[in-house]
């Protein structure tokens, strides 16, 4: 893989800060989904702090790369990244899920005149985000723009039929400026994905639909950045990066445990989680 010029140590430090924000937000909210936010932290960091062209001070810049969080329940990781890059004040993170907050429990871009900068559209009814990303990619091509479109999907949501309607279309349309990242954390709401409805052979499914497939360790930020670069170099077809991840990554009692898909830590658990994240060797 090509070497990517990036300050990896700095990005690792950012993933640590984002994980702490995720825990703080969810502890304060008292509900929400920590596991899939923690598993996607390196992916989101790689996109927002390195790969994507975007301007937090000009959020509707026409040439920005688009990001669609199809696995909308993992919005804490997105909100944390947006606040950290400057789309909105960091204090706003603690309003997550509270009445009147722009930080809805699942992403919502806001009503006209009350837009939440950085959130492109509403997601969270699983299986719908890739279609929207395709629409944006087609729009970019029609307007002769050069922006890229990124869609982050959960592996559980790949059980939804609409994902495969969309997966069938994107290669046919030759959307090489579209990149899907699947957070393959192997756990969904009720149980392990494998126990619920197996996706395997997962790579072969995407390949059969006409996608270029890259598999990476989704917690190795260098690998994530390299995959994102390689995806951009692929021409004539879209790329899917299957990121092998651990649900709840960084908090030992949450890791690989389906119970922490959709449960917020209490104060004591939150404090313990933060101490662990801070103690981790970067």
Partner 1 sequence: MGGKATRVAFGEALLKVAAKNQRIVVINADLGKSTNTVKFVEKYPDRSFNVGVAEANMIGIGTGLALEGWIPFLCTFATFVTGRFETIRVSLAYVDANVKIVGTHAGIAIGEDGYSQMGLEDIALMRSLPNMTVIQPGDAIEAAGAVEHIAEHHGPVYLRLTRQKVEDVNPPDYQFEFGKGVILDAGKGEGRDLTIMATGGTVYNAREGARQLRSQGLDARAVNVHTIKPIDRELILDSIQRSGRILTVEDHGLSGGLGSAVSEVVAERGEGLVRRIAVRDFGESGDPVELYKKFGLSKENIVAEAKKLVKKD
Residue 142 near partner 1 by CB under 8 A: yes
Residue 2 near partner 1 by CB under 8 A: no
Residue 112 near partner 1 by CB under 8 A: yes
Kindly tell me which residue out of 22, 40, 134, 277 binds partner 1, with binding defined by CB under 8 A.
134
Q: What residues contact 271, with CB distance under 8 A and at least 6 apart?
A: none
Least separation in angstroms between CB 141 and partner 1: 9
Kindly tell me which residue out of 11, 69, 83, 136 binds partner 1, with binding defined by CB under 8 A.
136
Q: Name the residue nearer to partner 1 (CB basis): 51 or 66.
A: 66
Contacts with partner 1 by CB under 8 A: the residue count is 33
Residue 109 near partner 1 by CB under 8 A: yes
Kindly tell me which residue out of 137, 241, 254, 273 binds partner 1, with binding defined by CB under 8 A.
137
Burial class (CB in 10 A: 0-12, 13-18, 19+), 2: exposed
Residue 168 near partner 1 by CB under 8 A: yes
Coil, helix or strand at residue 208: helix
Q: Which stretch binds partner 1 (CB under 8 A): 42-50, 159-167, 194-202, 212-220?
A: 159-167
> CB–CB of 109/115 below 8 Å?
yes
Q: Which stretch binds partner 1 (CB under 8 A): 20-28, 80-88, 93-101, 129-137?
A: 129-137
Residue 121 near partner 1 by CB under 8 A: yes
Q: Name the residue nearer to partner 1 (CB basis): 96 or 151.
A: 151
Q: Which stretch binds partner 1 (CB under 8 A): 29-37, 136-144, 234-242, 272-280?
A: 136-144
**How many whole angstroms separate alpha carbon 225 and alpha carbon 220?**
9
201-209 long-range contacts (CB < 8 A, ≥24 apart) are 202/155, 202/158, 202/242, 203/242, 206/167, 206/240, 206/242, 209/164, 209/167, 209/168, 209/171
Least separation in angstroms between CB 134 and partner 1: 5
Kindly tell me which residue out of 18, 69, 130, 158 binds partner 1, with binding defined by CB under 8 A.
130
Query: Helical H runs in the chain?
Result: 8-29, 34-39, 41-46, 75-85, 129-142, 161-172, 193-196, 202-208, 221-233, 267-279
- Touching partner 1, residues 170-199 (CB under 8 A): 173
Strand partners, 240: 180, 213
**Sign of CA pseudo-dihedral 4, 158, 239, 58:** negative
Residue 162 near partner 1 by CB under 8 A: yes
Q: What residues contact 185, with CB distance under 8 A and at least 6 apart?
A: 35, 36, 39, 40, 154, 155, 245, 246, 247
Residues found near partner 1 in the complex (CB under 8 A): 108-109, 111-112, 120-125, 127-140, 142-143, 161-162, 165-166, 168-169, 173
């Amino acid at each position: 893989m090509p070497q990517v010029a990036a300050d990896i140590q700095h990005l690792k430090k950012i993933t640590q800060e984002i994980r702490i924000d995720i825990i703080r937000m969810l502890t304060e909210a008292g509900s929400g989904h920590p596991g899939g936010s923690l598993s996607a932290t390196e992916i989101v960091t790689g996109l927002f702090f390195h790969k994507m062209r975007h301007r937090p001070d000009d959020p509707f810049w026409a040439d920005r790369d688009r990001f669609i969080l199809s696995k909308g329940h993992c919005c804490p990781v997105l909100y944390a990244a947006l606040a950290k890059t400057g789309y909105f004040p960091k204090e706003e993170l603690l309003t997550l899920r509270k009445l009147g907050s722009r930080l809805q429990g699942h992403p919502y871009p806001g009503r006209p005149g009350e837009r939440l900068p950085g959130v492109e559209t509403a997601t969270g009814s699983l299986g719908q985000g890739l279609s929207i990303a395709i629409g944006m990619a087609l729009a970019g091509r029609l307007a002769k723009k050069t922006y890229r479109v990124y869609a982050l999907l959960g592996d559980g949501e790949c059980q939804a039929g609409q994902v495969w309607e969309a997966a069938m279309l994107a290669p046919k349309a030759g959307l090489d400026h579209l990149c899907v990242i699947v957070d393959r954390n192997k756990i969904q709401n009720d149980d392990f994905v494998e126990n619920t409805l197996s996706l395997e052979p997962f790579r072969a499914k995407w390949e059969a639909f006409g996608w270029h497939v890259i598999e990476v360790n989704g917690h190795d930020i260098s690998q994530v950045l390299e995959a994102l670069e390689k995806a951009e170099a692929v021409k004539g077809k879209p790329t899917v990066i299957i990121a092998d991840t651990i649900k709840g990554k960084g908090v030992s009692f949450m890791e690989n445990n389906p119970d922490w898909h959709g449960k917020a830590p209490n104060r004591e658990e939150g404090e313990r989680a933060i101490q662990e994240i801070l103690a981790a060797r970067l």
